[in-house]
Amino acid sequence: MVKEFKKIDHAQRRSSGSEEYVSEKVQLLQDLIMRMDEATATKKRKQGKENERKEELETTGEKLCRGAEVRVAKRAKQSTCSPAKENGESS
């Protein structure tokens, strides 16, 4: 019903340059279509924000992971260069 109305309404808007009588049914269908379009746009905006949030979290996670890897590498380097370990002494 809505799809048929969209086709008819679009054609009528193109052909009619003058103000015409709009029935209650037509007005309600137009309102319904407007609300459906608004809901679709809102849903797309929310999905976009959610995707941005996920990307930000992934980026933050990657940074934290890299930082942890660097710290582990530094500790490993320090422990291999430590003179106490080379001499068999413990701290």
Give the model confidence (pLDDT) of 53-83 as tens digits: 999 988 998 999 999 999 999 988 888 876 5
pTM comes to 0.48
- Please report where in the chains the tokens 């701290």 appear, as a residue: 91
* The pLDDT value given to residue 69: 92
* The pLDDT value given to residue 32: 93
Q: Where exactly are the structural domains of the chain?
A: 2-8+22-77
